Amino acid sequence: MLRYDPKPEDFAPLNLDEKAGDAITRPPIGYWQDVWMRFRKNKLALTGLTIMPVLTIMAIIGPVISSWDYRECDYGHFNEFVSSRHWFGTDYLGRDMFTRLWHGTRISLFIGVTAALIDLVIGVMWGGIAGYFGGVVDDIMMRIVDILYGIPYLLVVILLLVVMEPGLTSIIIAMSLTGWVGMARLVRGQVLQLKEMEYVLAARSIGASPSRIIARHLIPNTMGVVLVSLTSSIPGAIFGEAFLSFIGLGVPMPQASLGTLANEGYQVLRIYPQNMIIPAVVMSLLILSFNFVGDGLRDALDPRLRQ
């Protein structure tokens, strides 16, 4: 049996540099930094994040850089193809399609974003209150949501637009009347889980009011799910407006939206296909970009994928 005799030098302390020992090998990464790192790995999400601002900027400056007004008719140039005079051609009245396209994109974006933000505000407030208080309050509020959820969305919108005067305000009100119920149910489910957390109990114990707990502790912690739902509701609102304009219940003439342009182009599709193809491509890119960003946010905000 071998025997080892320890020597004094075996117990000498290691000569380590204190700074090297205390150095952090990996820099600390915050929550939103980690979200952005995972988001930018999604190529489709980055593509959508690139297309979306480009279309938004063109919707703002497109009618400005054009020498034609969206209501102006160029007589003698009806249904003209793409040319140096009219970059995207003209419609059946001789109106410049480039100007009308970006003006219509601006209208569609305004309606979609505004309706989605109204749905966000109402849905977050309704779902937050119902989920936090629970009991009878939750039962009453969610039964109202169930009733509205059971009514066909487009049927309500069409009936309201038939009764109300046509215009942007009427469309936004009609689309927001029942569009918030999905957001409310989503936020309520999140609040039911979060209100039992320790930090909520600590806030209650120090006397924080329910409104402060909901606004400062519960709602901010649901923002990840809410942002994903928001990016999904905006293209839904844009498509809903386009559908209403396509069937003649959208923005009144002579204003244009992507739906009205698609409707006008559909009527001459076989003869002048560019009048239908160009607005359809822009609408598809707009909706796909929002959907790609929403899918990327959903994956980036998923805590199970965090490394």
Mean pLDDT, range 195-208, rounded to an integer: 84
Mean pLDDT, range 261-279, rounded to an integer: 85
Asked whether residue 180 is domain-assigned, the answer is: yes
Start-to-end C-alpha separation, the chain? 49
Asked whether residue 129 is domain-assigned, the answer is: yes
Q: How many domains does the chain have?
A: 1
Nearest to 121 by CA among 131, 110, 113, 132: 113
Sequential DSSP letters for 38-77: HHTT-HHHHHHHHHHHHHHHHHHHHHHHSSS-TT-B-TT-
Helix (H/G/I), strand (E/B), else coil: 96? strand
7, with CB counted inside 10 A (0-12, 13-18, 19+), is exposed
Helices (H), ranges, the chain: 18-22, 31-39, 43-65, 97-133, 135-150, 153-163, 168-179, 181-194, 198-205, 210-213, 223-246, 258-267, 274-300
Q: Could you report the per-residue pLDDT of 132-185, keeping only the tens digit for each?
A: 888 898 899 989 988 888 887 777 777 877 787 777 888 888 888 888 888 888
Asked whether residue 175 is domain-assigned, the answer is: yes
* Domain CATH number, residue 138: 1.10.3720.10
Cα(177)–Cα(159) distance, integer angstroms = 12
Phi and psi torsions of 96, nearest 5°: -70, 120
Mean pLDDT, range 51-66, rounded to an integer: 90
Place of tokens 């994928």: 305
10 band by pLDDT with thresholds 50, 70 and 90:
low
Cα(182)–Cα(240) distance, integer angstroms = 16
Asked whether residue 30 is domain-assigned, the answer is: no
pTM of the model: 0.79
Phi and psi torsions of 137, nearest 5°: -60, -45
Asked whether residue 23 is domain-assigned, the answer is: no
Residue 104 has, within 13 A of its CA and on its CB side, a CA count of 34
Is residue 45 within 8 A of residue 39, CB to CB? The reply is: yes
Of 6-10, 132-136, 221-225, 303-307, the one with minimum mean pLDDT is 303-307
pLDDT exceeds cutoff 70 at 302: no
Mean pLDDT, range 24-38, rounded to an integer: 68
Asked whether residue 267 is domain-assigned, the answer is: yes
Asked whether residue 117 is domain-assigned, the answer is: yes
Asked whether residue 49 is domain-assigned, the answer is: no
Mean pLDDT over each residue of the chain, to the nearest integer:
82
How far is residue 125 CA from its own chain's centroid?
18
Nearest to 130 by CA among 74, 190, 178: 190
Cα(174)–Cα(168) distance, integer angstroms = 10
pLDDT exceeds cutoff 70 at 26: no
Domain that holds residue 267: 54-66+96-305
Percentage above 70 pLDDT, the chain: 89
Helix (H/G/I), strand (E/B), else coil: 81? coil
